[in-house]
Structures are given as structure tokens and as C-alpha cells.
């Protein structure tokens, strides 16, 4: 039986609960989970102040409610699953190293920031800085898979080094900013400055993009790796046209060796 | 009053090498012959050192603050100091915050540090930050080798005037001595250039060369009788083949006293990054034959750090080499500053040579009174990693283990595999306390003789040297037990050492129009008021007697 938390008192200010991770909950009794301290703004309160708690000692966590003020859920998790029925706040799955997070609703900024492995799926929209590096850090996500069914905000995949991000809806500015590796699949395109300062990595767009002048058109091609990527994403119900694609190289301002593929 | 009994005392200044004696401390915080009553600390099975003295570090001021701001990623992963009854909050890491700096230094037995690079323009801020560093005593050095008003006097051959100007600046900055960073090079950097040759006139001057700056600053420091000689960061830092420049610089000292900062960064051979090698044998031999010189090794330790230096052109080169973040400051007419986060890796041949070169200097300069422990914090590594260096100095076997992690192609470029010397505890006490105190001219520090400041550190003797020096059992600062069993017990405010060299009163009127001609602030606002220094300790200058 999973540990289930149902919101009973919406927080007024951000509620920080980085212990809400399967690694931690797997060893805790019902009473211990209820007594865990969360930070409501600067106040330290027990979790039971905000949630009805069911279940204990489980690697599966289920959250119910409009939790857009709940932050840091699944931080650094290595195993198990988190399922959210409703919205969820910032930093979901930040630094995660394994396991699976499934959100049936919208999510905030910094989802999967600096994650090293695992899978995150957001069925609704998400904020910005998906899989990104925190300010000052050298690298964003280093592995894993993030899938956003809806739209996403600014700086998706900023400084990511490896891993895959798939966004179903449109993304805002600076997608793939300073990207160092990995793959971003944009099913509905992006706003401006896509791939700015990217060094390496691949951005695939199924819709036309407004290309920066520092990217150079190279060729129209059908890349050989796309069937592999398709096979990787197929279990999640995501399909990918095999091409042809227009290949752009850049960002020459760095100078970088990244590639942007736009479906022809 | 405190009496420490049963401990083995290591006091190089008095030639005491592990003898079991009582050590007595009176209520004024001084070492005395004997005390009656008071606390008795049983130090049986422990060793007693004078409190550590760091001759070259960067712990306060605009540059380290810039480094703190530039490395938020380090703040997220670093050791946090949580506020307690005796401790304020802070962060450790690559560039620890002010309170944490005091706790971390005291936490490994260091009680005095020397902030080695302060522009006069940011001296006020630096003193405010130094005042915020608890427990330890502090001194600071003023950057003078690129100061335009001073250089102008040297350009015109006005030695006496230059001496007065420098004296005025030292008092204006409320500092303890003179730091020369890349003489003329930082000035040239304002034109986008550097100064790598000692005999080529500096950009913006017709005659003045870096070599002349070195000679004159060393002479001025001696003529003013400053307790600490010129503290010299040579030209051409970090570049392959820079040993030539370094030896040339040392020759320009013409017999004057000098302290050579982080000499590891100035001891490279080769003619490019591909051929860079250690040339520490030559440099160590120079020190061995010139007792007027001291140096701190500037050891590099593998891992993350952030490099900060007034050597702006070098930092730009480092930024270009690494592609990482770069900060650059121009300090009006005085100096500059660059900041670049950096990771030293054993797999990187250049880094491996640097790592070996620092240790080689510590091992090949025979007199431990001439070469001191330092990492040029935070440039070569963080100061709280000094116990790692001590372990490498005391155990040749441990060094050999470390050498196994280096790429094979490094081995032919370094001398470290051939060195079997192991430091004794007395030599460690010399390199971390007695030597630096003497080099700084702090006669009341670095020893445990009667009348000395009661800065004492008590270590439990252990096989694990790193553990032993990382966690002292007791640290006593000015007669107060500040650390016991790993806990900060008290956090008193330390002193700040200053000098007031002799100066012609007319110098003020001489500098005013020059200052008002080129600075962006009012002359009256420029000098730091003595009242701003919370616990000033004015040290004597002893100029040579005139014949």
C-alpha cells in the first residue's frame, strides 16, 4: 500500500518538504511520517498540519491536491515512485537519481533540475528551467528522461549535459540555453533564441523555429539516430517522424558544435 | 590562568623539540613562567604547538566577496555553520563566509592570518570584513606595484618621494605591509597587455620597467623598516618556462629582504603547456643560498576551488583556457582583480605538475624557516585542507600512494618521486607557525616563550596525521580556550596588526592634487580612519640607523 497524502489545509506561503521522497518514506511508520517537519515559510510544522496521511513504509508515494506551493518533492530520490493527482510546485525531482515521478496536472519551475537519472512525466504544463542547472552550476541534468505533455517555460534544458527532454506543447525563450549535450524534442516548437550559446547536444523541433543568426544551415537529412530515439520513447507513447530534417549547426557565438533539427 | 601539563612541546623558536614541560598562561593572555591556581589541562599523550600563522591567504575584501557571489553552486553543497550560543551562522566551502573563516582557521589550530592583497580603495571594506572574522588575529598587505601615483615617482627617479608616497598609502590603508602583484603587469592590463619581461618599459611609461619596481619596493620596505619585507608575486605567474622570470626577479632584489608569494606558481620549465615541467630544483637551490628570502609554497590540491588574484591578465588567460566563469575588476589607479572558478584534476598533466611542484619546494628548501605552508587560499586549494599537506610532508609513503594516481607521462616532468624527506613535528611547527610569524615580524607570535601571546594548540598524537591536524583537542587564543573537543567554546574578537612608517608631513599635500586629478572619490574620504579598526595593534617599524 503506498503512502498517500491528501491536502487538508492549503499552505499560504511555500511549503518545503524535501523529505517527501520514497527513499525516506520507505522506512518510516505512519506516526513518523505525520510528525515529519515541513517548513511553512520560516515556520517548522508537522506534516500532519497540512495533509491526511495514509499508509507507511512504502516506496510509492501518492499526493492529492492543488500542491503548487509544495516544493522539493522527490529531491534526490533514488528509487520508487511518486504520483501526483493535481498540481505540484517548484523543484520536483531536483537532483533525482532514479525512480519515477508522474504528475497528473501542472508543475512549477525547475522540474528535474540537475537530475542524474530517473523518469519524470508531467501530464499538464510545466514552468521554466526544466532539467536545468541551478544558478552558477556547470551542468544541468546528466541523464534521465523528462516528458512534459503540455507547454513549458523559459530555459528548458539550460546547461543540460546528457539525458532527454520531450515537450509536447510550445516552450518559451532560450530553450537549450548553453546546452552541453543530451537531446530536447520540441513537438510544438519554441519561441525565440532556441539553442543560444549551445556547445553540443541536439534540439529536434517538429515545428518551424525562428533560428538565431549564429546557427548555420548545414543540410537536409534523415539522421540515423532518430529510429533509436523513437524506440527509446515508444514505451511512453511518444512517436517521432523519421524525417527529413533541416540541420543547423551552432551556436557559432560560443563557438559550439550543437545541432538543431527542424522537420522539413 | 591556565596550566597545561604533561604535553610534548614543539617550539622551534626556542629549540624545544618534544620535551615534556608545563606551559603556563596568565590572565593577560601571555605565556608566563608559572601560575598559581586556575585551570589545569592535562595534555598527557598530546603535542603542543604555537598557534598556526598563515602568511599568505585571501579571506576578506572585494575579490573574495566577488568570488563568493560568483560561486552559488558551492554554497549549495558546502558545509553549513548553524547558529549556536557561541557560533554565528555561515558557510564553508571554497570561499568561506567571514564568521566561518574564523571558525575553520581556529578549528585546525591557526590563530593568525595575513590577508595578502588589499587595494587601498577597498581597504575600508576589507577592515570591516576582517573585523567580522572571529577568534583569529589578522594583518593585511596593500597592493602597491601598480599604483599609478607611486609608479609615476619611480618613473621620474624620485626614490625618496616614492618612499614617502608608499608610507602615506600604508597608513591610509591601515595596513601591515606591501604586496607587489605582477609589477607593472596589472597596469599594462588596463591597455589589454601584460608585463612579462623585467627590462621592457611598462605600457604608459617611458622608462619604468617591472624590474625597477621590484628593486625599489624591496628597498623602500627595508628603508622604512617594515616588520614584513616586500611580499612579492612575481611576473609571469603560472606560465610554462616562467622560472627564468622568477630567477631574474629574485636577482633584482639586490640583497634586500623579500617574501616570495606562492612560489610554486613561479617554478615551471618548458616552452608550452605540452612541455611544461617542474623547475623547483633551481628555485629551491636559490632559496637555499639566499637566507634573506622566505616563501610560501602555494601548494595546489586536487579538487574544486575558485582562483582570485590581482593579476588580471593571468586570470583572463585562465578563463580563456578553461571557458569557465570569469570576473574582472578594475580598481581605478591602483590595481585590478580577476576571479575564475577552477578544478585541479590529477589527470590533467599541468595540474599534476603544479601539485608536485608545491610539495617539492617544501621538501627541497632545506630550512623550514624559509618555506611555509600555504595554498594561496583559495587559489591552490582551501586553507582548511592544510592537514592534507601536512600528511604529505610527513609521510613519503603517503606521497608515493598519491603519485600512483597521476598519469605516467607526468613522472618525467617532476622531481617528487625522488624525494624521501619526511618532515618532523618540529619542522611542521616551524613551517606552519614559527617561520611565518618570524617572516611577518610578529615577534610575539609563533613561539611559546615567556611574554609571547598565549596562542597555543594542543593536538592528540595520532598515527593518522591528517586527522590529528584537522581536529585539535584544544585551541587557546590569547589565553582563552576557544576550541575544546571539536567545539567552538568562545569566539573572541582578534586583533589587527598595523604599521605607521615614518613619513614627511608634507606628503599629504603632495598627494592631494595628484589624487584629485585622477580618482573618483574625495581625498578626505580615502584614508581609513584608525577608529574603524576594532582592535588595532600598532607594530613598530625599525628603519636602519643612518650613518
- pLDDT tens readout for residues B318-329: 999 998 999 998
Residue B251: HSE in the Cβ half-sphere, 13 Å Cα cutoff: 8
- Sorted by sequence, the CB contacts under 8 Å of residue A255 that are 6+ apart come out as none
CA B61 to chain centre: 14
Question: Is A185 inside a domain boundary?
Answer: yes
Q: What is the C-alpha to C-alpha distance for residues B62 and B143, in angstroms, rounded to an integer? A: 13
Task: Tell me how far the alpha carbon of residue B490 is from its chain's centroid.
Answer: 25
Q: Which residues of chain B lie closer than 8 angstroms to A134, CB-CB?
A: 72-73, 76
Residue B36: exposure state from Cβ atoms within 10 A (0-12, 13-18, ≥19) = exposed
Total CB pairs under 8 A between chain A and B:
15
Tell me whether residue B542 is in a domain: no
Give how far B326 is from chain A: nearest CA, Å: 12
Give the count of domains, chain B: 1
User: Chain B residue closest to A133 (CA)?
Assistant: B73
User: Which residues are bridge partners to B230 per DSSP?
Assistant: B258
Residue B72, min C-alpha distance to chain A (Å): 6
Interchain contact A137–B (C-beta under 8 A): yes
Is A136 within 8 Å of B72 when comparing Cβ atoms? yes
Q: Which residues pair with A122 in a beta bridge?
A: A103, A148
Cβ contact B71–A136 (<8 Å): yes
Task: Tell me which chain A residues have a C-beta less than 8 angstroms from the C-beta of B93.
Answer: none
In a domain, B133, yes or no: yes
Consecutive H or E run containing B103:
helix B98-107
Contact A136 B73 (CB under 8 A): yes
Nearest CA in chain B to A199: B323
Q: Which domain holds residue B145?
A: 48-497
The distance of A9 to chain B (nearest Cα, Å) reads 30
Instruction: Give tens-digit pLDDT for B60-73.
Output: 999 999 999 999 99
pLDDT at B484: 95
Is B326 in CB contact (< 8 Å) with chain A?
no
DSSP secondary-structure letter at A129? -
Rounded to whole angstroms, what are the CA distances from A171 to A28, A168, B12, B459?
A: 39, 9, 68, 59
Task: Work out the average pLDDT over A43-71.
Answer: 95
Cβ contacts of B76 on chain A, cutoff 8 Å: 134, 137
Does A135 contact B at CB distance below 8 Å? yes
- Asked whether residue B3 is assigned to any structural domain, the reply reads no
Structural domain contains residue A9: no
Residue B498 pairs with which residues in a beta bridge?
Answer: B538
What separation in angstroms does the CA of A90 have from each of A74, A139, B77, B183?
11, 19, 19, 50
Q: Name the minimum distance, in Å, from the CA of A115 to any CA of chain B.
A: 15
- Chain B CB within 8 Å of residue A134 CB: yes
Residues of A in contact with B73 (CB under 8 A): 134-138
**Which three cell numbers mark A101?**
515521478
What SS3 class is residue B99? helix
Residues 65-94 of A with CB under 8 A from B: none
- Mean pLDDT, rounded, of chain A: 96
B90 CA to chain A: closest CA distance, Å?
18
Give B71→chain A minimum CA distance, Å.
Answer: 6
Distance (Å) from the alpha carbon of B343 to chain A's nearest alpha carbon: 12
Contact B454, B31 (CB under 8 A): yes
Q: How far is A207 from chain B (nearest CA, A)?
A: 33
Q: How many domains does chain A have?
A: 1
Which residues does chain B have with pLDDT short of 70? 546-547
Tell me if B26 is assigned to some domain: no
Q: Do A138 and B72 touch (CB under 8 A)?
A: no
Residue of B nearest to A139 (CA): B73
pLDDT band at A95 (very low <50, low <70, confident <90, very high): very high
> The C-alpha cell of A64 is what?
492529492
Share of chain B above pLDDT 70, in %: 100
* Min distance B106 CA to chain A CA atoms (Å): 30
Q: B74 to chain A: which residues are within 8 Å by CB? A: 136
pLDDT tens digits for range A105-161: 999 999 999 999 999 999 999 999 999 999 999 999 999 999 999 999 999 999 999
Name the pairing type of β-strands A145-148 and A164-167.
Answer: parallel
The range of the structural domain enclosing residue A231 comes to 106-263
Amino acid B310: pLDDT: 87
Query: Per residue, what are the HEC states of B210-271?
Result: HHHHHHHHHHHHHHHCCCCCEEEECCCCCCCCCHHHHHHHHHCCCCCCEEECCHHHHCEECC
Residue A1 is predicted with a pLDDT of 86
Residues of A in contact with B325 (CB under 8 A): 136
What DSSP designation does A79 have?
Answer: S
A10 falls within a domain: no
Using the Cα atoms of residue B253, residue B255, residue B259 and residue B260 in order, give the sign of their dihedral: positive
The CATH number covering residue B444 comes to 3.20.20
Residue among B73, B89, B323, B345 with most chain A CBs within 10 A, to mutate: B73
- In this prediction, residue B546 carries a pLDDT of 67
B94 to chain A, closest Cα gap in Å: 14
3 state SS of A51: strand
- Please state the rounded mean pLDDT for residues A7-26: 94
B357 conformational bin, left if phi > 0, alpha if psi -120 to 50, beta if neither = alpha
In the block, which residue shows the cell 617528487? B416
Is the CB of A138 less than 8 angstroms away from the CB of B324? yes
Query: Which residues 67-86 of B are in CB contact (within 8 Å) with A?
Result: 70-74, 76
Residues of chain B with C-beta less than 8 angstroms from the C-beta of A136 = 70-74, 325
Interchain contact A213–B (C-beta under 8 A): no
ipTM of predicted assembly, 2 dp:
0.77
B364, containing H or E segment: helix B349-364
Q: Is A135 close to B73, i.e. CB distance below 8 A?
A: yes
CB < 8 Å to B67, chain A = none
B30 in a structural domain: no
A9's CB contacts (< 8 A; 6+ apart) are A49, A50
Q: Which of B473, B447, B477, B449 is nearest to B459 (CA)?
A: B473
CA distance B492 to B54: 19
Instruction: Please report the beta strands in chain A, taking only residues with DSSP state E, as ranges in sequence order.
Output: 3-7, 15-16, 37-40, 43-46, 51-54, 60-64, 70-71, 81-85, 100-104, 119-122, 145-148, 164-167, 183-186, 202-205, 216-221, 245-250, 258-263
Nearest to A134 among B76, B324, B325 (CB): B76
Q: Do B72 and A135 touch (CB under 8 A)?
A: yes
pLDDT at B545: 81
In three-state secondary structure terms, A110 is coil
Contact list, B72 vs chain A (CB under 8 Å): 134-136
Do A134 and B324 count as a contact with CB atoms less than 8 A apart?
A: no
- B470 to chain A, closest Cα gap in Å: 29
A42 occurs within a structural domain: no
User: Is B133 an 8 Å CB contact of chain A?
Assistant: no
Task: Say what the pLDDT of residue A114 is.
Answer: 97
B409 touches chain A (CB under 8 A): no
Chain B residues with CB-CB distance to A137 below 8 A: 73, 76
Amino acid at each position: 500500500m503506498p503512502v498517500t497524502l491528501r491536502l487538508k489545509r492549503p499552505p499560504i506561503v511555500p511549503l518545503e518538504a524535501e523529505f517527501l521522497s520514497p527513499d525516506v518514506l520507505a522506512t518510516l511508520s505512519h506516526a513518523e511520517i505525520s510528525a515529519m517537519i515541513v517548513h511553512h515559510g520560516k515556520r517548522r510544522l508537522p506534516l500532519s498540519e497540512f495533509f491526511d496521511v495514509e499508509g507507511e513504509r512504502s516506496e510509492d508515494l501518492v499526493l492529492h491536491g492543488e500542491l503548487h506551493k509544495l516544493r522539493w518533492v522527490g529531491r534526490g530520490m533514488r528509487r520508487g515512485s511518486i504520483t501526483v493527482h493535481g498540481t505540484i510546485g517548484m523543484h520536483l525531482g531536483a537532483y533525482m537519481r532514479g525512480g519515477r515521478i508522474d504528475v497528473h496536472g501542472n508543475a512549477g519551475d525547475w522540474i528535474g533540475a540537475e537530475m542524474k537519472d530517473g523518469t519524470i512525466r508531467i501530464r499538464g504544463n510545466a514552468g521554466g528551467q526544466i532539467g536545468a542547472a541551478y544558478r552558477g552550476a556547470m551542468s544541468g541534468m546528466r541523464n534521465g528522461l523528462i516528458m512534459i505533455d503540455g507547454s513549458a517555460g523559459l530555459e528548458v534544458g539550460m546547461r543540460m549535459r546528457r539525458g532527454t527532454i520531450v515537450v509536447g506543447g510550445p516552450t518559451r525563450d532560450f530553450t537549450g540555453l548553453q546546452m552541453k549535450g543530451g537531446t530536447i524534442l520540441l513537438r510544438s516548437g519554441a519561441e525565440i533564441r532556441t539553442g543560444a550559446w549551445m556547445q553540443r547536444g541536439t534540439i529536434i523541433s517538429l515545428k518551424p523555429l525562428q533560428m538565431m543568426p549564429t546557427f548555420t544551415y548545414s543540410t537536409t537529412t534523415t539522421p540515423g539516430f532518430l529510429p533509436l530515439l523513437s524506440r527509446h520513447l515508444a514505451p511512453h507513447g511518444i512517436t517521432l517522424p523519421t524525417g527529413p530534417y533541416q540541420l543547423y549547426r551552432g551556436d557559432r557565438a560560443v563557438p559550439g558544435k550543437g545541432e538543431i533539427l527542424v522537420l522539413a | 590562568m591556565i596550566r597545561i601539563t604533561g604535553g610534548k612541546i614543539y617550539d622551534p623558536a626556542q629549540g624545544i623539540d618534544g620535551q615534556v614541560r608545563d606551559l603556563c598562561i596568565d590572565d593577560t593572555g601571555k605565556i608566563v613562567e608559572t601560575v598559581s591556581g586556575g585551570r589545569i589541562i592535562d595534555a598527557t599523550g598530546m603535542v603542543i604547538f604555537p598557534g598556526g600563522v598563515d602568511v599568505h591567504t585571501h579571506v576578506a575584501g572585494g575579490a573574495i566577496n566577488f568570488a563568493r557571489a560568483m560561486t552559488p553552486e558551492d554554497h549549495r553543497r558546502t558545509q553549513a555553520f548553524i547558529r549556536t550560543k557561541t557560533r554565528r551562522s555561515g558557510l564553508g566551502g571554497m570561499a568561506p563566509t567571514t564568521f566561518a573563516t574564523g571558525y575553520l582557521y581556529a578549528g585546525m589550530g591557526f590563530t593568525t592570518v595575513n590577508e595578502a592583497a588589499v587595494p587601498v580603495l577597498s581597504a575600508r571594506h576589507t577592515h570591516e570584513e576582517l573585523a567580522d572574522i572571529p577568534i583569529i588575529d589578522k594583518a593585511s598587505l596593500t597592493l602597491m606595484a601598480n599604483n599609478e601615483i607611486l609608479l609615476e615617482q619611480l618613473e621620474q627617479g624620485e626614490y625618496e618621494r616614492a618612499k614617502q608616497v608608499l608610507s602615506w598609502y600604508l597608513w591610509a590603508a591601515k595596513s601591515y605591509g606591501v604586496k607587489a602583484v605582477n609589477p607593472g603587469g596589472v597596469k599594462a592590463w588596463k591597455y589589454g597587455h601584460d608585463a612579462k619581461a623585467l627590462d621592457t618599459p611598462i605600457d604608459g611609461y617611458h622608462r619604468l620597467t617591472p624590474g625597477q619596481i621590484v628593486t625599489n619596493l624591496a628597498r623602500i620596505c627595508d628603508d622604512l623598516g617594515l616588520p614584513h619585507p616586500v611580499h612579492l608575486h612575481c611576473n609571469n605567474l603560472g606560465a610554462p618556462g616562467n622560472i627564468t622570470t622568477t630567477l631574474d626577479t629574485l636577482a633584482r632584489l639586490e640583497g634586500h629582504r623579500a617574501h616570495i608569494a606562492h612560489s610554486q606558481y613561479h617554478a615551471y620549465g618548458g616552452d608550452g603547456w605540452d612541455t611544461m615541467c617542474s623547475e623547483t630544483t633551481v628555485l629551491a637551490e636559490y632559496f637555499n643560498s639566499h637566507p634573506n628570502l622566505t616563501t610560501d609554497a602555494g601548494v595546489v590540491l586536487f579538487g574544486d576551488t575558485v582562483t582570485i588574484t590581482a593579476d588580471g591578465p593571468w586570470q583572463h588567460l585562465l578563463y580563456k583556457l578553461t571557458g569557465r566563469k570569469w570576473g574582472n575588476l578594475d580598481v581605478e589607479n591602483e590595481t585590478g582583480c580577476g576571479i575564475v572558478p577552477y578544478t585541479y584534476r590529477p589527470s590533467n598533466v599541468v595540474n599534476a605538475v603544479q601539485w608536485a611542484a608545491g610539495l617539492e619546494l617544501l621538501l627541497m628548501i632545506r630550512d623550514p624557516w624559509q618555506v611555509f605552508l600555504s595554498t594561496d587560499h583559495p587559489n591552490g586549494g582551501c586553507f582548511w585542507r592544510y592537514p592534507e599537506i601536512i600528511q604529505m610532508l610527513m609521510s613519503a609513503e603517503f606521497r608515493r600512494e598519491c603519485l600512483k594516481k597521476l598519469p605516467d607521462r607526468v613522472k618525467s616532468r617532476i622531481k617528487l618521486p625522488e624525494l624521501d624527506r619526511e618532515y618532523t613535528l618540529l619542522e611542521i611547527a616551524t613551517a606552519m607557525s614559527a617561520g611565518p610569524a618570524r617572516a611577518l615580524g610578529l615577534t610575539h607570535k609563533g613561539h611559546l616563550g615567556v611574554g609571547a601571546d598565549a596562542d597555543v594548540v594542543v593536538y592528540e598524537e595520532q598515527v593518522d596525521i591528517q586527522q590529528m591536524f584537522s581536529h585539535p583537542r584544544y585551541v587557546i587564543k590569547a589565553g582563552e580556550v576557544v576550541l575544546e573537543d571539536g567545539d567552538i567554546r568562545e569566539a573572541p574578537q582578534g586583533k589587527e596588526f598595523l604599521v605607521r612608517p615614518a613619513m614627511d608631513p608634507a606628503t599629504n599635500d603632495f598627494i592631494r592634487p595628484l589624487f584629485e586629478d585622477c580618482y573618483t572619490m574625495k581625498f578626505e574620504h580615502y584614508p581609513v580612519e584608525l577608529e574603524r579598526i576594532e582592535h588595532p595593534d600598532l607594530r613598530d617599524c625599525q628603519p636602519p640607523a643612518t650613518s
